[in-house]
């Protein structure tokens, strides 16, 4: 009995996963294939798909993508769900060896994973118990280990060892699609054309996974200009997160939701803030003098209660995006600045502010606060004492 094991987060499963598996089933001797979605990391509070949801997406994609006989051999395994904490490949192998004594094992991986194989826990044991089945990915520098064309990283030893164990290289090159890029695209309402099988995509859309439910809510409840703004803020915030090493998905999520409170008119914002006892600095003064400032605090409450956002960093960034605060996290600053400097902002200086944002986020903070204060002054508006304090602190 020849058993193929294919592990991954499959969050979401995409065309690259299915192409790799289909090729392995064609080219490697496989009697049974187990797909092993990993259990969801407990510390992640983003709208990622549950284990069951990912298993369903995998099954939906497999049914469309594999021919009958190949499909019959394939199982989505719940093994990792039953385990507490992370599961290493050598542990999964041990489990399936107990389940199928005497079987030969094959491990399906992408070329990118092959290049990093030596960093895996107990990789020597894995190599002694299973044959690697590898699919080169476009642009990852991995090619067939035979011949001199392997990347330097591969030539440096990992490949030689794997070749000794008799790795099987699948024909052709597989698309280098990244699940995290796909999740970002969903958060921004971008197309994922061709990267996700239709059966999987329609499931994601139907269930509103990966923040699509948030996106749909914002599209429905905000006016067109505000919605376009939110998308631009999400683009800029994502780039800034990348620049400063912050979590890009959290930045995109916070940006998408930051103006959720704008779905209400000021009188309704006031009513909402009273009804839900929303906390805001000097709330009564805000209500009396500039109720629109409530939208950040109201929006954070909406995100938490209506949209199920539980991540405290995302909620904090929504709350602080307008008025700021004396202590702000990296993500808070990114959203604060991105909101002021997004591509849709037409005021003089917006382009300059964007440039500064990429050079030094604290300087961009300072510029943003300065501009906001100057604007309110020029309009003869009320300046919130927190705004003055913040300016004194960072100027």
Residue in 201, 193, 191, 120 with CA at minimum distance from that of residue 161: 120
CB of 75 to Fe ion, least distance (A): 47
The CB-of-340 to Fe ion minimum distance in angstroms stands at 8
Tell me how far apart the alpha carbons of residues 296 and 23 are, in angstroms, rounded to a whole number.
50
Report the residue number, 90 or 297, with the smaller CB distance to Fe ion: 297
Residues in 309-328 that interact with Fe ion by CB under 5 A: 322
How far the first Cα of the chain sits from its last, in Å, is 70
Instruction: Please say which residue, 198 or 292, places its beta carbon nearer to Fe ion.
Output: 292
**C-beta of residue 384 within 8 angstroms of C-beta of residue 286:** yes
Residue 264 Cβ, how far from Fe ion at the closest point, in Å? 12
- Decide: 296 and 219 in contact? Cβ < 8 Å: no
**What three-state secondary structure class fits 138?**
coil
Q: Which is nearer to Fe ion, 74 or 234 (CB)?
A: 234
Taking the C-alpha atoms of residue 65 and residue 7, their distance in angstroms, rounded to an integer, is: 18
Q: Report the C-alpha gap between 278 and 300 in whole angstroms.
A: 10
| C-beta of 65 vs 262, nearer to Fe ion | 262
- Of 221, 224, 242, the C-alpha closest to 232 is 224
Task: Give the chain's largest Cα–Cα span.
Answer: 82
Q: Shortest Cβ distance from residue 45 to Fe ion (Å)?
A: 23
Kindly indicate which of the ranges 87-95, 126-134, 311-319, 339-347 contains the residues binding Fe ion, using the contact rule CB under 5 A. 339-347
By rule CB under 5 A, what count of residues binds Fe ion?
A: 3
Q: Looking only at residues 240 through 299 of this chain, which bind Fe ion when binding is defined by CB under 5 A?
A: 259
CA angle 78, 82, 83 (to 5 degrees): 120
Nearest to 232 by CA among 256, 264, 248: 256
- Check residue 332 for interaction with Fe ion (CB under 5 A): no
Instruction: Specify the residue, 249 or 259, whose C-beta has the smaller distance to Fe ion.
Output: 259
Kindly state the smallest distance separating residue 299's Cβ from Fe ion, in Å. 8
Q: Which residue is nearest to Fe ion (CB)?
A: 339
Per-residue binding letters, 186-225, with Fe ion (x by CB under 5 A): ----------------------------------------
Burial of 324 (0-12, 13-18, 19+ CB in 10 A): buried
Which one of 11, 311, 313, 339 is in contact with Fe ion (CB under 5 A)?
339
Strand partners for 105: 3, 130
Nearer to Fe ion, 203 or 321 (CB): 321
Nearest distance, CB of residue 296 and Fe ion, angstroms: 6
CB of 229 vs Fe ion, minimal distance in Å: 6
Residue 154 or residue 256: which is nearer to Fe ion going by CB?
256
- Write out the residues near Fe ion by the rule CB under 5 A: 259, 322, 339
């Amino acid at each position: 009995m020849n058993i193929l094991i294919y592990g991954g987060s499959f969050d979401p499963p995409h065309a690259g996963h299915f192409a790799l598996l289909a090729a392995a089933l064609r080219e490697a001797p496989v009697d049974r294939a187990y797909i092993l979605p990993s259990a969801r990391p407990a510390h992640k509070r983003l709208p990622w798909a549950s284990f069951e949801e990912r298993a369903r997406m995998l099954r939906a994609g497999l049914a469309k993508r594999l021919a009958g006989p190949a499909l019959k051999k394939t199982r989505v395994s719940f093994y990792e769900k039953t385990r507490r904490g992370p599961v290493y490949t050598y542990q999964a192998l041990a489990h399936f060896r107990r389940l199928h004594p005497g079987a030969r094992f094959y491990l399906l991986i992408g070329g990118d994973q092959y290049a990093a194989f030596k960093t895996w826990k107990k990789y020597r044991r894995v190599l002694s118990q299973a044959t690697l089945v590898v699919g080169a990915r476009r642009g990852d520098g991995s090619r067939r280990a035979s011949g001199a064309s392997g990347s330097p990283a591969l030539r440096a030893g990992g490949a030689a060892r794997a070749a000794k164990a008799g790795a099987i290289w699948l024909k052709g090159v597989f698309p280098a699609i990244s699940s995290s890029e796909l999740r970002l695209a969903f958060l921004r309402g971008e197309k994922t054309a061709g990267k996700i099988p239709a059966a999987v995509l329609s499931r994601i859309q139907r269930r509103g996974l990966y923040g699509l439910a948030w996106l749909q809510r914002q599209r429905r409840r905000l006016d067109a200009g505000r919605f376009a703004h939110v998308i631009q803020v999400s683009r800029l915030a994502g780039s800034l997160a990348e620049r400063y090493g912050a979590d890009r998905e959290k930045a995109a999520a916070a940006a998408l939701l930051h103006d959720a409170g704008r779905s209400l008119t000021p009188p309704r914002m006031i009513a909402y803030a009273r009804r839900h006892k929303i906390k805001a600095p000097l709330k009564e003064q805000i209500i009396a003098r500039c109720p629109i400032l409530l939208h950040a605090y109201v929006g954070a409450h909406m995100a938490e209660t209506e949209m199920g956002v539980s991540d405290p960093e995302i909620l904090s960034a929504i709350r602080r995006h307008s008025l700021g605060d004396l202590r702000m996290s990296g993500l808070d600053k990114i959203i604060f600045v991105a909101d002021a400097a997004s591509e849709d902002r037409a005021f003089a200086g917006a382009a300059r502010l964007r440039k500064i944002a990429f050079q030094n986020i604290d300087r961009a903070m300072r510029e943003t606060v300065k501009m906001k204060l100057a604007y309110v002054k020029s309009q003869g508006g009320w300046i919130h004492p927190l705004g003055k304090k913040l300016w004194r602190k960072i100027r």
